Structure 1
Amino acid sequence: MITILDKTFVPFISRSNIESRIAEMAVQISKDYEGKSPLFIIVLNGAFLFASELLKNVSLPCQITFVRLASYQQTETTGQVRQIIGLEEQITGKDVVIVEDIVDTGLTMNQLLEQIQALQPASVEIATLLHKPEAIRKPVSMRYIGFEIENRFVVGYGLDYDGLGRNEDALYVLSE
């Protein structure tokens, strides 16, 4: 168990299970983009640990850039997305893989997809560590999913509660 601020979290997915699944995802991405040089767009802050592990295992020449979006306040989504740091690279005609920590409502990802597709990339796919199918409010097609989880609040491995807990090396779920 860990305590972050006023909340208690219990172990959910171990570091070894996370790293094993990410390695499998990297192999699939490397096969799917063989002969290409994709641009990975990492969504900050939450996806930094996932992206680091994923890209260490991708066996392709690639480019990496970052965007920062926010839609959470404490343990709830606000339903509104604020773009904090934008995309500066030219992506027209490029194969793009968006790397996200978690897709739950789909609101953040749909807004990001609209912005990216307006720049006319050759293709766009999504790689997410976590997906909460029960929480979807705006459907989104994702090609690479690490784990489908129930609609519970998680921290660790890049995900936070009010800015804390990102540095935990495993995933923890809010204790009920």
Structure 2
Amino acid sequence: MRGRGANDEADGGARVVPTGAAPAPGPWIARQAVLPSFGPVVRRGSDDDFAHPAERELARVLTFYGVRWVYEPTTFALRRTGDGGSAAFFTPDFYLPDHRLYIELTTMRQRLVTRKNQKLRRLRALYPAVGIKLLYRRDYQQLVDAYEPAKADPDQDRIGPIVYPASVIAARIETLAGQIAADFAVAGPSWSTRSPVLVGVGQGSDRFLSALTAALTHRGVEYGQDRIELTRYDPVGDGRARVRRAPHLDLSGRRVLLVEDVVSTGLSLAYLVAWLRRRGVRDITACTLLDRTAARLVEVPVRHVGFEVSAALLAGFGLGLRRQFSELPYIAAIAPASLPRSSV
């Protein structure tokens, strides 16, 4: 996300990092870039490492959740000259080696990102095996909103239009319970000798978990129930994520269904999946009331979804965001009383 166009042209100041042998003229389009080797890199990065504060903030979030990242490690050739030289380049901001994913972050306004989209389409056409995701301004703002600390003055926000009435939520939970019951009815792996366990993730899942388990009990489904809770990301802190409330049940040899209120980037869910696997849990899936797939950064095992939602901030029905509205029986949009942010 270099503001001076360093990713565009060779003479624009791009820092070219070798990606293997240079492709030969002609059939080079069909060749794949050779990705560099990465050590076990998990680092915060100093302010001087990044071209924009938004990149620094994203790096801090990744580090908090233990996601290994490397900043601008690879430059891809997008256009060749007649003699086989490179005329245009693209250098994504981050590479996540454990997820084989590049991330490009742009905080330009939407009407100015046409050229960036063209470059990404070109990169995907030339290097189809390379995974890359573009985070737009709205995606970054959603990330900031999701991880921002609780407001000192909760009255800054007010409830907007109802998105999902209570009756719609209840009906959808009944449908999810039917799907989960069908899954649980299928014999588990040979090593799974006990009933599955539903594990609620954080305070925001409590109401959804309660309604879901009631529907499962009504169907005569046998299951265990527990809870897990992560520390929350602090933009000014130096810590790493940790499990501050571990499950009390022994989950070894049992199927685990993590129950979330919202899955967005997938970073916290991926952290929990890895944490549970290190403790002997071999079969882990997730159920979420709200799923923001457009914001996903890493793949996570979400099997059951209540509602696919957009980037709009939502509250109510026990959701963890804006707890002052958690007792509402429905889910509604949040209408901030303050003016929209304009600093990014």
Fold in common (TM above 0.5): yes
How far, CA to CA, are the matches of 1:142 and 1:6 in structure 2? 33
SS at match of 1:120: coil
Aligned to 2:248: 88
Aligned to 1:76: none
What is the deviation of 1:118? Answer: 1.5
Counterpart check, 1:68 vs 2:226? no
What is the deviation of 1:81? Answer: 3.9
| Number of aligned positions between the proteins | 167
Say if 1:155 and 1:161, in contact at 8 Å, map to a contact too.
yes
Give structure 2 stretches of 5+ with no counterpart. 1-153, 188-193, 235-239, 337-344
Counterpart check, 1:28 vs 2:179? yes
Q: Among 28, 32, 41, which residue is 2:199 paired with?
A: 41
TM-score, length-scaled by structure 2: 0.46
Q: Percent identity, please.
A: 24
Say if 2:315 and 2:322, in contact at 8 Å, map to a contact too.
no
Q: Deviations over 1:122-147 (max 9, x none)?
A: 41110100000121122212100000
Say if 1:81 and 1:107, in contact at 8 Å, map to a contact too.
no
How far, CA to CA, are the matches of 1:70 and 1:173 in structure 2? 26
Trace 1:105-144 onto structure 2 (pairs within 5 A): 105-144=265-304
Q: Deviations over 1:50-71 (max 9, x none)?
A: 0011111113111101112244
Asked which structure has the greater RCO (Cα within 8 Å, sep 6+), the reply is: 1
1:54–1:124 Cα change, 3 Å = same
TM-score, length-scaled by structure 1: 0.86
Aligned to 1:9: 159
How far, CA to CA, are the matches of 2:212 and 2:267 in structure 1? 24
Counterpart check, 1:50 vs 2:208? yes
How far, CA to CA, are the matches of 1:87 and 1:174 in structure 2? 32
Amino acid at match of 1:43: V
Amino acid at match of 1:171: I
1:81–1:165 Cα change, 3 Å = farther
Comparing both structures, which one devotes a greater share of its residues to strand? 1
Q: Among 299, 304, 309, which residue is 1:149 paired with?
A: 309
Say if 2:284 and 2:301, in contact at 8 Å, map to a contact too.
no
How far, CA to CA, are the matches of 1:67 and 1:101 in structure 2? 13
Give structure 1 stretches of 5+ with no counterpart. 74-79
